[in-house]
Amino acid sequence: MSRPFEQVYTVNDFWDMPRAGFADVDGVPHVYRSIWSDEVDDWDPNGRFELSPVPPRSLALALEDWAIWRRWEEAYYAHQTTDTEHPALPVDRARHEELAPIVQQALEIDPSARRVATATFRARGDGSIHGAMPGTRPPLEVQWNFVE
């Protein structure tokens, strides 16, 4: 039986696909991180991700920082700012700098609650995660398939 697609809240790292951020797992917010393989000096060849629950306060701060990023992204693709302002508009810069270390810490996997799964990401409505490129990415959802 196939698992349902669930909400992706943020994509804090993207390399060919989402690599880290916050998403639901069984309806509960989690941090997800693509596993790096030192053996092959690349992402895990089996496409595995580490997952662990995230506290509500950490998710709220990550969502605030995500909104800052999305404002910059929308302005960038509307040619209202440049990449020199990346990742926050001047009006949001100070708050982003406050939030960045908190979000970075929240992206750490809790080893005591770690689960491992493969992921299928798609744009909401069954579209491609690359469908809107270049431009702002559509909202995403993910299907987790546990391997450990």
pLDDT tens column, 115-138: 999 999 998 876 667 655 556 677
The answer to whether 85 and 69 are in contact (CB under 8 A) is no
Q: Domain locations in the chain?
A: 6-146
Q: What is the pLDDT of residues 8-44, one digit of tens each?
A: 999 999 898 899 999 999 999 999 999 998 888 888 8
Q: What is the mean pLDDT of the chain?
A: 91
**What are the b/e assignments for 101-118, b being 16+ CB within 10 Å?**
eebeebbebeeeeebbbe
Q: Amino acid letter at 71?
A: R
* Entry pTM: 0.91
Q: What is the pLDDT of residues 72-113, one digit of tens each?
A: 999 999 999 999 999 999 999 999 999 999 999 999 999 999
Give the H or E element holding residue 125.
Answer: none
